Amino acid sequence: MGYSHDPMTFQYAASPDPTQVDKLFLRDACSCPRCVDPSTRQKLFETADIPLSIDIESHRYISDGSIEIRWANDVAGYYPHTSTFTPAFFAKNHDDRARMLASNRFPRRIPWTKNLIVTRHCTFRYSEYLESAEILHKALNHLHRYGIFFISATPSEASAIERIANRIGPLRNTFYGPTWDVRSIPSAKNVAYTSQNLGFHMDLLYMASPPGLQILHTMIASTLGGESLFSDGLNACYAVSKDAPENLPSLYNFQVTYRYKNDGHWYQQDRTTLCSPIDFDSSGFEIPDLTRSEQEISWSPPFQGPFERDIGLKDISRNGKTEPGLSALRVYLKAAKVFKAFLEAEDSVFETKMEEGTCVIFDNRRILHARKAFDGDGERWLRGAYVDKDPFKSRLRVLNEQLGIPKR
Measured at the alpha carbon of residue 333, what is the angle toward residues 335 and 340, in degrees to the nearest 5? 55
> What's the confidence (pLDDT) of residue 6?
54
Q: What is the pLDDT of residues 105-156, one digit of tens each?
A: 677 899 999 999 999 889 999 999 999 999 999 999 999 999 999 999 999 9
Q: Assign residue 293 a region: left if phi > 0, alpha if psi is -120 to 50, beta otherwise?
A: beta
Residue 389: its H or E element: helix 389-402
Cα 135 to Cα 113: distance, rounded to the nearest angstrom: 25
**Strands 213-221 and 123-125, sheet pairing:** unpaired
Tell me the per-residue pLDDT of 336-360, one tens digit each, with 9 for 90 and over.
999 999 999 999 999 999 999 999 9
Q: Is the pLDDT of residue 365 over 60?
A: yes
What's the angle, vertex CA 266, arms to CA 264 and CA 267, rounded to 5? 140
Q: What is the pLDDT of residues 266-316, one digit of tens each?
A: 999 999 999 877 777 777 777 666 555 678 999 999 999 999 877 766 666
* pLDDT, tens digit, 9 for 90 and up, residues 169-199: 999 999 999 999 988 654 555 565 667 788 9
DSSP 3-state of 53: coil
CA distance 325 to 344: 32
First to last CA, the chain: 24
Angle CA 136–137–139, to nearest 5: 65
Judge contact between 297 and 273, C-beta under 8 A: yes
How far apart are the C-alpha atoms of 273 and 275, rounded to whole Å?
7
Q: Rounded to an integer, what distance in angstroms lies between the CA atom of residue 387 and that of residue 364?
A: 10
pLDDT attached to residue 195: 72
Q: For the purposes of burial, counting CB atoms within 10 Å of the CB of 59, is it exposed (0-12), middle (13-18) or buried (19 or more)?
A: middle
Predicted structure pTM score: 0.84
> In this structure, how many other beta carbons lie within 10 angstroms of the beta carbon of residue 178?
14
Q: Starting at the edge strand that comes first in sequence, how are the strands of the sheet with 213-221 ordered?
A: 123-125, 148-152, 359-363, 213-221, 380-387, 179-182
Distance CA 272, CA 339 (A): 13
Q: Is it the case that residue 13 has pLDDT exceeding 50?
A: no
Concatenating the DSSP letter of every residue in 213-278 gives: EEEEEEEEE-SSB--EEEEEHHHHHHHHHHH-GGGHHHHHHPEEEEEEEETTEEEEEEEESBSS--
386: which strand partners? Answer: 214
CB-neighbour burial class of residue 92 (10 A; exposed 0-12, middle 13-18, buried 19+): middle
CA distance linking residue 98 with residue 176, whole number of Å = 42
* pLDDT tens per residue across span 314-343: 666 666 666 665 688 889 999 999 999 999
Residue 122 in contact with residue 149, Cβ under 8 Å?
Answer: yes
Given this model, what pLDDT does residue 292 score?
59
The pLDDT value given to residue 259: 96
pLDDT in tens, 14-24: 455 666 778 99
Q: Is the pLDDT of residue 41 over 50?
A: yes
Mean pLDDT of 84-106: 76
Report yes or no: 195 and 373 within 8 Å, Cβ to Cβ: yes
Mean pLDDT on 215-227: 92
Give 62-92 pLDDT, tens digit per residue: 888 889 999 999 999 999 999 999 988 887 8
3-class SS at 313? strand
